[in-house]
Amino acid sequence: MASYILTFDLGTSSERAIVFNHDFNIVGMEQREFPQHYPSPGRVEQDPMDIWNTQLSITNSLLKKLHISTKDIAGIGITNQRETTVVWNRHTGQPVYPAIVWQDKRTAAFCEILKAKKYSAQIQEKTGLIIDAYFSATKLHWILNYVPGARVLAEKGDLLFGTVDTWIIWKLSGGALHITDVSNASRTMLYNINTLEWDADLLALFDIPAAILPSVHDSSEIYGKTAEGLFGKGRIPITGIAGDQQAALFGQGCLSPGMAKNTYGTGCFMLMNTGGKAVKSNHGLLTTIAWGIEGKITYALEGSVFIAGAAIQWLRDNLHLIKTVAESEAAACAVQDTSGVYFIPAFSGLGAPYWDMHVRGTLCGLTQGSSDKHIIRAALEAIAYQSKDVLDAMECDSGVKLEALNVDGGATGNNFLMQFQADILPCPVFRVDIVESTALGAALLAGLACGFWTLEDIPRSRGEGRCFKPNMPENTRRELYRGWLRAVKQARTCRAGETERESG
């Protein structure tokens, strides 16, 4: 009998292969960063072959290190950076253009045209999404229009589109599977979350041929197997797929309506389970599909912060204020406060609830007394402020006052950030023992499909964790947050000039 579930965690800046046992414990993990490309301001790309080769290499390395063979693995669960768009030739397997990453803003001008033509209500009604360059539809539209020969090949049925999950599964299966799941499909701005179909009206609006699209499946299902020889002798069932944030919601055990989580990674993503009902947002949130299991759809409200942990990496890599991300906690604790400094990390615009694609990163409140430690602390506090922006909107839309916020992701290891998050909400923040909830969620979905676990097993997967309770005086909290809102207003006023024009 197989003893393990293998998870692929396909992140924005790095990828991981993780092996879980029956007791939900991680028995081994391999992680590797892969190159990011920034060809011009506002553009973010990756080489799809780097994405594939990195994952293939670390997986084989991990299995060899653990002395695990294909027969020991019950199933593979895949979770991925969402919205990132890959288009490749179905015959050669070669991408026709680099993957356009979710952070990329090259289609911002096209989005403004769609808004001006009054398509916002239609798109929100069908997809639950707000018109933004964040989503896959405008990225795919750009590739078909600006990559020489792409549209002709697409019309002939020679090209395939997918988010990162689709691309990896196509490679894993040796080209046998061109699929995605409902959670990833719901992030494309092409999928109707009410009818659960690719929407013909939206395909016509974006001028996208249906033949390029993957088939859509549940998030927990036996889809097929890996190609022979990828991981030694034998083939492994592929049994779970979910977008990274939906996987984290599942991994946090937020299976009942009203339960919510926040994942702190490159970006910051808060989701609230709304059950079988798609709740429309009036406060800049997204209505999305959380997962599909045995044909039953669970919906969620989501608020996305584009830049969270990436801001700390920027301090390390660009400003060289710290040598490691971990140093940020000690630097923040070395000063009593930010001395009035606010950092708006809008490197890719602002997400929910503002949805301002054109605002840029801004430092406010600098004086001659401002130090590197004040800036570092302001960057960490910005992650918490942005999360509060989203949580306040979520409570308004749902009518539910959260009693606790479940958190996961790499940045949750920063105790200063977690305490400040609890203080500024104010709300208890519960950090689970397994901070890799995204990978755990994908593992659970995969394990359910192949009988490795049952739904009754899931509550045991969370562990005890740690709770951060708010202890900041109310007047201090209010004044700090008022300062944040003033800083956001200032940043949005000082825009980066005219919107960049789309070009090939």
pLDDT, tens digit, 9 for 90 and up, residues 139-164:
999 999 999 999 999 999 999 999 99
Q: How many CA atoms lie within 13 A of 378 on its CB side?
A: 25
Q: Give the residue from 45, 42, 5 showing the smallest Cα distance to 23.
A: 5
Say whether pLDDT at 173 is over 50: yes
Digit-coded pLDDT (tens) for 390-448: 988 888 888 878 778 999 888 888 999 999 999 999 999 998 877 678 899 999 999 99
Is 164 within 8 Å of 181 (Cβ atoms)? no
Contacts with 413 (C-beta within 8 Å, 6 or more apart), sequence order: 326, 435
Domain boundaries, the chain: 4-245
Specify the pLDDT at position 396: 87
In which residue are the tokens 């506090």 written? 381
At 267-296, the pLDDT tens digits run 888 998 888 989 888 888 999 999 999 999
The second-level CATH assignment, the architecture, of 4-245 is 2-Layer Sandwich (3.30)
Q: Rg of the Cα trace of the chain? A: 22
DSSP 47-94: -HHHHHHHHHHHHHHHHHHHT--GGGEEEEEEEE-SS-BEEEETTT--
Residue 120 has pLDDT above 70, yes or no: yes
**How many angstroms separate the CA atoms of 402 and 430, rounded?**
12
Measured distance CA(66)–CA(64) in Å, rounded: 5
Question: Do the beta carbons of residue 21 and residue 91 sit within 8 Å?
Answer: no
Q: Which of helix, strand or coil describes residue 65?
A: helix
Nearest to 282 by CA among 49, 152, 121: 121
Per-residue confidence (pLDDT) for residue 495, from 0 to 100: 64
pLDDT at 239 over 60: yes
Task: Give the pLDDT band of residue 458 (cuts 50, 70, 90).
Answer: confident
Q: Among the residues of 334-371, which ranges form H helices?
A: none
* pLDDT, position 499: 44
- CB atoms under 10 Å from CB of 299, counted, come to 22
Tens digit of each residue's pLDDT (9 = 90 or more) over 64-88: 999 999 999 999 999 999 999 999 9
Q: Are 208 and 162 in contact, with CB atoms under 8 Å apart?
A: no
Residue 100 burial (C-beta neighbours within 10 Å; 0-12, 13-18, 19+): buried
Q: What is the phi-psi region of residue 229: left when phi exceeds 0, alpha when psi lies from -120 to 50, beta otherwise?
A: left
State residue 498's pLDDT score: 42
Given this model, what pLDDT does residue 465 score? 81
Residue 272 bridge partners (DSSP) = 260, 301
Q: Are strands 342-344 and 362-364 parallel, antiparallel or unpaired?
A: antiparallel
Structure tokens at 30: 């391999």
Are β-strands 296-305 and 286-293 bridged in parallel, bridged antiparallel, or unpaired?
Answer: antiparallel
When pLDDT is averaged across residues 34-59 and rounded to a whole number, the result is 93
> Residue 30: is its pLDDT beyond 80?
yes
- With pLDDT > 90 as the criterion, what percentage of the chain qualifies? 74
Q: What share of the chain is helix, strand, coil (3-state, %, to 5)?
A: 35, 25, 40
* 497: pLDDT strictly greater than 60: no
Burial level of 243, CB count in 10 A (0-12/13-18/19+)?
buried
500 falls in which pLDDT band (50, 70, 90)? very low
- Residues 53-65 have a mean pLDDT of 95
- The string of pLDDT tens digits covering residues 338-382 is 999 999 999 988 888 888 878 999 999 999 999 999 999 999 999
Q: Collect all residues with Cβ–Cβ distance below 8 Å to 428 and sequence separation of at least 6.
A: 403, 404, 405, 422, 467, 468, 469, 470
